[in-house]
Each structure stands twice: as structure tokens, then as C-alpha cells.
A and B are shown apart, each in its own frame.
Chain A
């Protein structure tokens, strides 16, 4: 495995990202040292490369990536993985608002808590939150799945259109067009598989606590209301 390092100290996000894109063509793993919660790290990065951010990242970490596996050793600010199409971002600490905003695919994992509007307008892909997720989680969600091991803030699943929010804890309140359903044994098995793979080890009995938030209607804003199956 070929490994390279970038020291972000004293550099602009543009300088770090330019260097990262050049190195990504030659190296398998790139470590960004001294990120100091810098914004836009790894923005628009493509290809099969591993990026280790050795500390915290700022806003829009890994925005619009297609393929890379990014590990953030600290926390992330607002909108990590925004509009990602393929790849994986793991945040070892907590994250700000809009985790996985608008993603089309890939996986985002936050080991601790996330802020508000997690998974806002996501179309596909998977978001896993190890702790709690805040206000309006899944806002205008259009597909994919959010898995939350803790609890949800107010207005969970606000105006959800498609997709599922799996929840181990409780939701403070549900948003418009959201309803809670029991999960099936098949879904429990799938949750176990994906959580084990993502580094979350739960007792078997814990999977019985999960429920899901789904859309109440396929057409909540206009036309004839149709109950989700």
C-alpha cells in the first residue's frame, strides 16, 4: 500500500484539496495532518482512495465525493458527505447539521451525536448515527435509509417522501407525513449485518428495540393521498 501525507497547517483548503487530488492518482492512502477543522476537505474527490483526516474537519467534508473512503478521526462540522454519490465517510466524533445532506449513494457513519436535519433531501445511500440525531432528521427524505442508535429530536421525518429512518431510541415528535411502524425480522437481520460491518456491536435483544419512521402518504402535498404499503 502506497501512503502519502499532507500537512494542512498554514495551507488553504484549495491548496490541500489540489494536493490531495494529485496524490490520489498515485497513492492508495493519504493522511491529512493538522486539519484544524478546515472546511471543504476532500471536496469533489473521486477514485478508489483512502483518506485519513487526522483530527477534526469543518464544513462540507467530503462533499460530492465519488468513490473515496474517508475517515475523520475527530469531529465534523456542517454537511459532511453533502451530495456524495459513492464512497464511505466515517466520523469518529460528533457531527454538525446536515450529515449526508442530499446523498445519492454511499455510506456515512457518525460514531457519536449528529446535529439537525440529518439526511435532509437524501435520495439513496445509508447514514448511521451512533448517538442521537437532532431536529428534523430526514427532512424531505426521498430515499435510502438512516439508522440512529440513540434518539431523535423534534419533527423526525418532516415531510418525508421515500426512504426509512430506523430508530433504536425515541423521537421527541414526528414531522408532517411521518409515521412509526414496527420492523420485520428480515429488517432486524439487515440492521445487524450493516451495523456489525460498520463497527457497532449490539446485543441481540437491542435489535428488538428498533422501529422505523416511514412516509404516511406517497403524495402528501398534492393529488390523491396514497397510503404507503
Chain B
């Protein structure tokens, strides 16, 4: 199944995005017990050249030191934080500066070469939080309740296509252009047909997860001057299978649904909030649901601030 959700505060100012997304995802917990994740945009307030890395590190002597040394071959660590996760892993978060965005992916590749270390993501304008366990466990582990943001997307995962671990939890991120993330419910059945041309262009796939395929596809389209709406519309034509997915960008969110409408998606809005989710019970946590709209088969909706 999987549960997906997205929220935008129409005034473009930071609000309690972490709290609201936590409540939305908790309402969708029954749709996916394996893992959960958040992309909370607009609350990091980093300088133009700053990035936040989220790195999963096994609790082994000397491993964190090795990670830090690898980072410091490229740049100085400006601030850091350690969060205790489960299964003898810590999440190491650090703020770094880079001369350009193009340095980010090569640095991540270098860090990923260290055994028992995986970079979950690297971002500039959003904070990614994803882990195994229930929504509330993750919310308390990472204190999502206090995270502020202008918009957010989130996911509860019922694993069907790949293993259950932190990296395969959604959202997935692309590094083709900065800060594009995707959460997804369903399957892309022509996965290789979508992946092949992207790889030929030089885009790097880390997994065989179809959600990663979507995020690279959308980022590739956006890097070729498609608007988010145009990218989503084209994806509905190009992708087969049952799906509904939500994209997060620094400017807003968008949803796309397959042409047969085989996965759910509903939307509600008021003067302050635009919200989309798999089910009404998630919308009811953040917005008046007296009037909700079904996302129709093949339809896309976008809200940008």
C-alpha cells in the first residue's frame, strides 16, 4: 500500500510543518508499517553555499572518525549532530560548505565507499528525516514535532519492491538538480524503459527501487526547463503501472496519478493550507475536509509558493 502526504502553507512562511506532517503520516500508519520519512522544506535557513548531510553509520570503533576525515578532504565540517537510531546505527548529521552544488554528489560517492556507511541524503533547502519503525517512533527519535517549514512531503512504507532499511525508506532524492524529492505509492512497471535513457545521460542509480527512478526522471525533466506541472504530466504518459506520487521541490509540491487511477489521492485546501494525501483521514489532521477532491486518473496537481 504505502501512505503519501504533502502540505503547503500558502503564505510561504515557515509553519509547524514537522508537527503537521507527523500527524498526517500517523493517520496513514495503517498503510505502511515498515518505515517512514519526511522532506521538510524551507526551515533549514542555510547560507547559499551550505549543505546538510545525513549519514547512516554503524556503531564501530573508528568509523565516525573515518567519515569525518573523508568529508574533510573536501571541506570543513561546520557543525555536527549525532542521533541514535536502531540496530546499532547512528545518524550523523553535519553542515558543510561547498563551492558548487556539483561537488555534492562526488563527495557522497566518496563517503559511500566506506563500509557500513551510507549517505541518506545531502540537501540545501530541505531537511530529510527517514528511518525504519513507526511514524511516532521516528517523530520522537528525530523530534519532527519541532521542525518548521514552508512545505513538506512524507511517506509511510509498506515494502513491496526492495528491502526495508533506512536508505530505502522514502523520500528519495535526486542530485541532478538541487533538492528534488519524491514519495510514492505503487509500482512503475516499465521501470527499465524509464531508467535506461536516464543512465545513458549519465544519471547515477544507487538502487533498483522504482521511486528512485521517478525522482531522477522528474529532476531530469526539471533540468531541461520543464515546469513541475509539465514534468508530472509527461510522467503520467511515460510511466506504466499503478502509482500516485508526490514531488517536493524548493518551490512547492505536486502529485501525479496513473491513467487508470489505481492508487488513491485526495486533496483539500483552505485560505492557509493546500494538502494532499492517500486518504481523507490524513487531510483531516490539518485542514477542513468538508470539501475534498479526488485526484482523477491521469491527473496532476501542483501548488508552488
Contact = CB atoms under 8 A, between A and B. Distances in A.
B250 interface: no
In this complex, the interface size class of chain A, counting residues with CB under 8 Å from chain B, is 20 to 34
Interface residues of B, number: 17
B281 A116 contact: no
A58 B294 contact: no
A140 to B, nearest CB: 14
A40 to B, nearest CB: 11
Interface string B294-305: 101100000000
Given A37-B280, A37-B281, A58-B281, A116 B290 contact: no
Contact of B296 (A59, A75, A78, A135): A135
Interface of A: 36-39, 56, 58-59, 74-75, 77-78, 93-94, 96-97, 112-113, 115-116, 134-135, 153
A135 B279 CA distance: 19
Nearest to A92: B290
Contacts, number: 59
A108 to B, nearest CB: 16
Given A93-B290, A94-B292, A115-B261, A36 B297 contact: no
Contact of A38 (B281, B289, B293, B294): B281
A38 B282 CA distance: 11
Nearest to B295: A115
Interface in B256-302: 260-261, 264, 266, 279-281, 284, 289-294, 296-297
Main secondary structure of the interface of A (DSSP, over half): loop
Given A56-B289, A135-B261, A37 B284 contact: yes
B279 A94 contact: no
A59 B260 CA distance: 19
B289 A74 contact: yes
Contacts of A134: 261, 294, 296-297
A100 to B, nearest CB: 16
A135 B258 CA distance: 12
Contacts of A56: 280-281, 284, 289
A36 B292 contact: no
